[in-house]
Amino acid sequence: MLQAPRARITAVAAHLPPNYRTMDEIRAKITETGGYAPPPGLLEDLTGVRGVHVREDGENASDLAVAAARKALDEAGLKIDDVDLLLFAATAQDLIEPATSHLAAAKLGASCPVFDVKNACNSVLNAMEVAASFIAAGRYRTVLIACGEVGSLVTRWHAPDRQALLRALPGYTASDAGAAMVLTAGPAGEDDPGVLSLQFVANSAAWEACTVAGGGTMHERSVHDDHTTLRLNGDLRQGALDALPRILAGAEGELRAARAGAFIAFHQIAMPQYHEMLDLFSLPESRCMPAVAEHGNCAAASLPLQLVKAREADRIEPGDTVAMLGVASGFSFGLALVRW
């Protein structure tokens, strides 16, 4: 019997806007609004983040995605006409209608089918699952995943009091970034590279814990800061703990393989959460990278960015097993094992 083809990551790229906003600059911007003024050093102490990347004026989510996609295509030695399917995968979007994948495709000159994959910060990981499934089914051979995140749009600048500031804290680490992956069909032999396994778990009862509430049918025309900015309404950590038994039951073998792999990328919100993830899943710190300290929370672009940084540091070589762990508001968890 012929084996189904295996999706392999042929290229991965990231694009970080050159503008950089330090936590001290963020504090100054909050103070200028006349609301609660955080004491000097408070944001750095609470988050462990030095600063975030900020897009140019007029730059959209699709622009960031396209910049990264062009890098990924160049790395793969492909042209846009070689792509069979384009997936835009991000928390951000240019418009409610149409899908942002169309805008990215138009800018790239793509004529292939396109659609969006959206699941908060797990969007890229879920897009990998879609791409790998299509490739295994023989539906497409080359899939481009493009991600554009504009976290600076959901930062709350006016906080009337300390409690409002703390609820808005995740928005102060939100960074703008682009990322892209090219997945292609390849052989599925025992030692061949590619996506080896994918596991996903959801605890949807925890959906209210972290929200950007405006723009949908609940608050379609609201301009209130509580609706248009990233806001903690509950305990995200509890959402993870509630789902932990199912995560461990469904992905125990994959987690063991992840710990033994050469590199482990996982979604990072701030440095306290980085250390919580190490403890929660018993991850060896020597195989992880605290990218959030320098680059902030890049949302769905976080995992590809860590892969790029790890490759630049020669921490991933051909034949290595790499793990990608995604956690996202909603609450959802995903794990991908990939042989490089």
Domain match, 153 and 202 both: no
Amino acid at 286: S
Amino acid 210: pLDDT:
83
Residues whose CB falls within 8 Å of the CB of residue 129, separated by 6 or more in sequence, listed in order: 198, 200, 334, 336
| pLDDT value at 95 more than 90 | yes
Q: Which two tokens stand for residue 332?
A: 């959802």
- Report the alpha-carbon angle 235-237-241, nearest 5: 120
What CATH number does residue 51 fall under?
A: 3.40.47.10
Q: Which residues of 305-325 are buried (b: 16+ CB within 10 A; e: fewer)?
A: bbbbbbeeeebbeeeebbbbb
- The dihedral through the CA atoms of 142, 335, 237, 293 has a sign that is negative
Amino acid at 238: Q
Does residue 1 sit within a domain?
Answer: no
Amino acid 232: pLDDT:
78
Residue that terminates a domain, selected from 186, 213, 229: 186
Residue that terminates a domain, selected from 152, 186, 220: 186
Average pLDDT over residues 195-209: 92
Domain match, 255 and 160 both: no
Cα–Cα distance for residue pair 185/334, rounded to 1 Å: 22
Domain match, 152 and 199 both: no
Amino acid 195: pLDDT:
97
Does residue 249 sit within a domain?
Answer: yes
Residue that terminates a domain, selected from 165, 186, 207: 186
Structural domain including 156 reads 6-186
Average pLDDT over residues 234-246: 75
Domain match, 163 and 281 both: no
Cα–Cα distance for residue pair 32/326, rounded to 1 Å: 35
| pLDDT value at 41 more than 70 | yes
Cα–Cα distance for residue pair 32/2, rounded to 1 Å: 65
Does residue 115 sit within a domain?
Answer: yes
| pLDDT value at 106 more than 70 | yes
Domain match, 92 and 237 both: no
Percent of the chain with pLDDT over 90: 82
Domain match, 228 and 133 both: no
Amino acid 225: pLDDT:
79
Cα–Cα distance for residue pair 15/61, rounded to 1 Å: 11
Q: Please, are residues 90 and 123 in contact by the beta-carbon 8 Å criterion?
A: yes
Domain match, 309 and 255 both: yes
Q: How many domains, the chain?
A: 2
